[in-house]
Amino acid sequence: MVRYALIVLGVVLGLSVFFATRPVPKPPIPPQGVHLENVSLTLYPEQDPQAKWRFRAKEVVQDPGSRESKVTGLEEAARYVGNRLDLRLSAPEVTIDRNDNLRAPYATVEILKGCLKVELGEPGGPPVSIDQRSGFAAPRVRISSPTYSASGVNFTSDFAIEQIRWGDPAWKFYDYPPGQTPPCTIKDGG
């Protein structure tokens, strides 16, 4: 009987040592950050206190580690200066970094003053950025208005498209009879 008790004790001790030396699996870490759906978001950039951005999107995910917010399913994005609409932005997604700057895979911007459509980057290309202090930066750009179109590479510009720096610019101007200018096709533009 003592023999069986010693065998059982040995098995219990052996199993205890075996289980004590095995690594304990860590529980899965739940996703952190904020996940919002069907969102209206207003961004007040610290670097440009006169401006504010308004977004409507299907989803916003905020990552506390990088302090970035990814806005997807963008339904509306617009920049206001004061209370006046300055430009509209469309992009497949926008990332807002910790300095309130925007990054997108590519984007189209409609600037109301001057009736400009600005296509920044292209699908599959390097991302484009919108810096709240300095404006747009893109590897490629196409600009169109009722009176001209232009394209170039390594593009940077302020929000008004007045201080442009780019490589290989190509311009095309449209001729109209004196006194006639085609209408602006951008909603509320001109």
Q: Which two tokens stand for residue 10?
A: 């040995």
Rounded CA-CA distance 122/95 in Å is 17
Query: What local confidence, expressed as pLDDT, does residue 28 receive?
Result: 67
Distances in Å between the Cα of 62 and the Cα atoms of 57, 71, 84 are 14, 9, 28
Mean pLDDT computed over 3-25: 70
- Close Cβ partners of 16 (under 8 Å, ≥ 6 residues apart): none
Query: What local confidence, expressed as pLDDT, does residue 9 receive?
Result: 65
Mean pLDDT computed over 141-153: 96
Q: What is the mean pLDDT of the chain?
A: 90
Express as a percent the part of the chain with pLDDT over 90: 70
Q: Which domains does the chain have, with CATH numbers?
A: 34-173 (2.60.450.10)
Amino acid at residue number 109: V
| Residue 31 predicted with pLDDT over 90 | no
Tell me the pTM: 0.80
| Residue 59 predicted with pLDDT over 90 | yes
Mean pLDDT computed over 81-108: 97
Closest CA to 123 of 150, 144, 154, 92: 92
| Residue 25 predicted with pLDDT over 70 | yes
Mean pLDDT computed over 143-148: 94
